Structure 1
Amino acid sequence: MQKKDSIVEKLAFLSVSFMLTSAYAVQGALPQLKVALNVSQTQAEYLATMPSFAVMIFVVLSPLLQTWLKVSDKQMIMAGVTLVGVMGIVPFFNLHNYALILASRLLLGAGYGLYNSQAIALISVWYEGATRAQMLGWRAAAEQIGQATTLFIAGILLTIGGWHFSFLVYLLAFVVLLFFALEVPNDRPSQDQPVEKLTATPDTITKTSPRVALLILFAFFLVVDYVGMENRFASLAVFLKGSAYTGAANYLSLMLIGATLGGIFYGAINRRFGFGTIYLGLGLMALANFLFYFGRNNFGLLVMGLLLIGFPLQLVSPMIFNLLPGLAPAKRQPLVTSMVLIGFNFGAFFSPTLAEWLNTMLNVPLKGTGLAAPFLAYGIALLIIAALIYLTIHGKRIGIKKSLPEMTR
């Protein structure tokens, strides 16, 4: 098949990534869902994070299912997007059954997991060289733009018709499905080196470093913090502004602009600061948490913390993937990358429970200003992590310093 590389074709490839983070589109409706379904704060938050649990499972199962069903990447992506559209709108038709809504959210996550890796693989197979790198960068940006857009649209729908109307945002999945089916060609092999060769690690690395486990835990904690702030912002905003307030989704959308900018400028910042980028990112994330905590009685500070946190997250999370090639052999790279992705998704899923545990440990009620309590602890933890990383690399224990050559570049 002749290669077109048209703008429309590229947008079609990117369109499926646009929907990958739409699980969080209904975060602005969580206060209304909590009241309508008569559930706890944590139960309401799980409606936003439950898809991440299924993503963890189906990211691993998807390649096996694809082999068993003997379908192409394009067909697997179309199946996943279809499942996202169908399961996404189920809560619109079921107004008061929490268990059924939670189950639909779980299956929504299965849809994301079915095509998460294929969305990357199809670009890697179809495009080569600099165009491939550009498309993969745009794909990451498309996720942030998609989350911001779906949050905004869901917020408008919330204002128009109530919380159940917010779930109509998933009708966009069918638009994406049609666009992708019509404009994306059938799979073809790339004309240059396979992706495995392009990402191969040096032959001197013969075993997986135990530091990979630390990076997985690090990824887990970063997303616990980030998603926790997303989940609790709407309820804190309603507490400060009144029960009729429905504008939280607008601020959640703006939050993702910062995350998008962080991804865009990561390369330039990393070239300037090198490994110091991680200290900058952790410091700014800690500041965002402190602003959010001290904004529990001040809407302006609350918003400042929310808008800030996305930018440094996109400075820190790419560093995790950049370190992996120096910590595992080439043949283990797909495995360790998948494990880090699972760390990210498990952090998103488990965020409500960990935040609730912190409220309990701090003896702070899980309501009103008490919803901000975990973020003081998160901010302090981020500063401790930054200090530990610095001491590990620059301390006097030469054995440790020599064992981290890739991290000190």
Structure 2
Amino acid sequence: MQNKNSIITKLAFLSVSFMLTSAYAVQSALPQLKASLAITQTQSEYMATTPSFAVMIFVVLSPFLQRWFHISDKKMIMAGVTVVGVMGLVPFFPIHSFPIILGSRLLLGAGFGLYNSQAISMISVWYEGTTRAQMLGWRAAAEQIGQATTLFIAGLLLSVAGWHASFLVYILAFVALVFFGVRVPDDAKSPAAEKEVEEDVDETVEDFEEDPIKKTSPVVYLLVLFAFLLVVDYVGMENRFPGLAVTINGANYTGSSNFLSLMLIGATLGGLFYGSIQKRLGFGTVYLGLGLMALSNFLFYFAGDQFWLLVIGLLLIGFPLQLVSPLIFNLLPDLAPAKRQPLVTSMVLIGFNFGAFFSPTIAEWTNHLMHAPMSGFGLAAPFLVYGIGLLVIALIICIARRTHHAK
């Protein structure tokens, strides 16, 4: 059996998480794909967001399928990664049918959903204590690094050989599959892990009995809506940037993936600094986050033909998003009983995924509301509304908190 503590085995565990966020790898190819297939802007954006819809469904179905077919965590992960590799490569072939390509993207999301939770749980089973915490932190980082890397590689392939070639990035799924299959041990819970699970169950039962929170607060549903709106904005900016970049720099421009990759650095920094900022500002962190997100949207909207302003707006938005989204999860323990925490956490996650999936439609509706064209500089129109909306949300939160403390 492989040594689970060797750096190579740890990297093998992390390799499958590297691919989990690769659905957005082909965003820089959206303008070329749109022109080639003669589809609308919204349809092209759904190429990037449709996998999120399938992820929501299959994250829920995955445990049931695993029990139904008596599949181990390792085999379930390998099945999911295989689906990702196969379905991800479908648009590489000379297919010019929008329904077929969209269907392959939907099944790509199914692959992600099949092994998303197992990629976390298998680490939790095999590692303990500080090593487990370290591995789970690295796993989250692997997702960010994976998205940045696949975006960059897909962009290179786009510039060299066209939009079909950008989908060759999913060959990396098979590299991860082989690496994971060879190096990661077969499933078998250690006695220490089983004992820890039993202790966790006992502690959880005691927590339920002593839980002072008896019912779920309606604020939970507002947080779900809040999560939805945040990701509508974030993913919308990712989707619209390549089109605006082409509008400014010309139809042959293929450098969007470089900036989309850099955008993730801001998101990573936001996650790294969240703890220290939250410690200093407390709940004020949410106002800082919303203010910076609003500024990002205004820069994006008012950039016009100034490409550098557009880029600053894009690079800025990831940092504040990672200041606000962790705060949502931090609020949940005080808003619902312990026994309902898995449910309310899942609701917020579904809010994030629904926001990602429906972002193209919300952006299109906003364009129509503003009577702005779905092309050229009109692609920036929704971000004025989003920016104002974020400031209104910050104001409502501030008034609500003051009213609550005044009672």
Q: Label 1:274 to 1:126 Cα distance change in 2 as closer, same or farther (>3 A).
A: farther
**One-letter amino acid matched to 2:252:** A
The answer for the alignment partner of 2:356 in structure 1 is 348
* Contact kept in structure 1, 2:303 and 2:310, CA below 8 Å: yes
Shift of 1:171: 0.5
Shift of 1:192: 6.3
Does residue 185 of the first structure (1) align with residue 185 of the second (2)? yes
The answer for the alignment partner of 1:35 in structure 2 is 35
Matches of 1:397 and 1:326 in 2, distance apart? 16
**One-letter amino acid matched to 1:323:** L
- 1:10-409 matches, within 5 Å, as 10-187=10-187, 188-189=189-190, 190=193, 193-194=196-197, 203-395=211-403, 398-399=406-407
Matches of 2:128 and 2:62 in 1, distance apart? 24
Instruction: Please state whether the residue corresponding to 2:316 is helix, strand or coil.
Output: helix
* Contact kept in structure 1, 2:89 and 2:171, CA below 8 Å: yes
Instruction: Please state whether the residue corresponding to 2:304 is helix, strand or coil.
Output: helix
Matches of 2:303 and 2:203 in 1, distance apart? 46
Matches of 2:195 and 2:395 in 1, distance apart? 43
Shift of 1:193: 3.5
What is the CA deviation profile of residues 170-210 of structure 1, one whole-angstrom value per residue up to 9, with x for unaligned ones?
A: 00000111111122222325266336778867611222222
The answer for the alignment partner of 1:7 in structure 2 is 7
Matches of 1:198 and 1:305 in 2, distance apart? 46
* Contact kept in structure 2, 1:128 and 1:191, CA below 8 Å: no
* Contact kept in structure 1, 2:124 and 2:132, CA below 8 Å: yes
* Contact kept in structure 1, 2:2 and 2:183, CA below 8 Å: no
Deviates more, 1:374-383 or 1:69-78: 69-78
Matches of 1:46 and 1:240 in 2, distance apart? 23
Instruction: Please state whether the residue corresponding to 2:216 is helix, strand or coil.
Output: coil
Gaps of 5+ in 1: 400-409
Poorly superposed stretches of 4+, deviation over 4 Å: 195-202, 396-399
* Contact kept in structure 1, 2:4 and 2:184, CA below 8 Å: no
**One-letter amino acid matched to 1:129:** G
Shift of 1:211: 1.4
What is the CA deviation profile of residues 364-403 of structure 1, one whole-angstrom value per residue up to 9, with x for unaligned ones?
A: 111111100000111111111112112212236645xxxx
Deviates more, 1:128-137 or 1:57-66: 128-137
Q: Name the TM-score, length of structure 2 as normaliser.
A: 0.94
Instruction: Please state whether the residue corresponding to 2:282 is helix, strand or coil.
Output: helix
* Contact kept in structure 1, 2:2 and 2:185, CA below 8 Å: no
Shift of 1:235: 0.3
Matches of 2:337 and 2:185 in 1, distance apart? 34
- Percent identity over the alignment is 71
Matches of 1:335 and 1:396 in 2, distance apart? 26
What is the CA deviation profile of residues 37-83 of structure 1, one whole-angstrom value per residue up to 9, with x for unaligned ones?
A: 00000000001111011011111111111111111222111111110
What is the CA deviation profile of residues 89-108 of structure 1, one whole-angstrom value per residue up to 9, with x for unaligned ones?
A: 00011431111000000000
Instruction: Please state whether the residue corresponding to 2:339 is helix, strand or coil.
Output: helix
Instruction: Please state whether the residue corresponding to 1:395 is helix, strand or coil.
Output: helix
**One-letter amino acid matched to 1:136:** L
* Contact kept in structure 2, 1:88 and 1:105, CA below 8 Å: yes
* Contact kept in structure 1, 2:2 and 2:184, CA below 8 Å: no
Matches of 1:198 and 1:135 in 2, distance apart? 24
Gaps of 5+ in 2: none
Matches of 1:207 and 1:396 in 2, distance apart? 19
Q: Label 1:258 to 1:75 Cα distance change in 2 as closer, same or farther (>3 A).
A: same
Root-mean-square deviation over aligned CA pairs: 1.8
* Contact kept in structure 2, 1:221 and 1:347, CA below 8 Å: yes
Matches of 1:389 and 1:32 in 2, distance apart? 41
Instruction: Please state whether the residue corresponding to 1:206 is helix, strand or coil.
Output: coil
Deviates more, 1:379-388 or 1:178-187: 178-187
Q: Label 1:141 to 1:178 Cα distance change in 2 as closer, same or farther (>3 A).
A: same
Deviates more, 1:67-76 or 1:143-152: 67-76
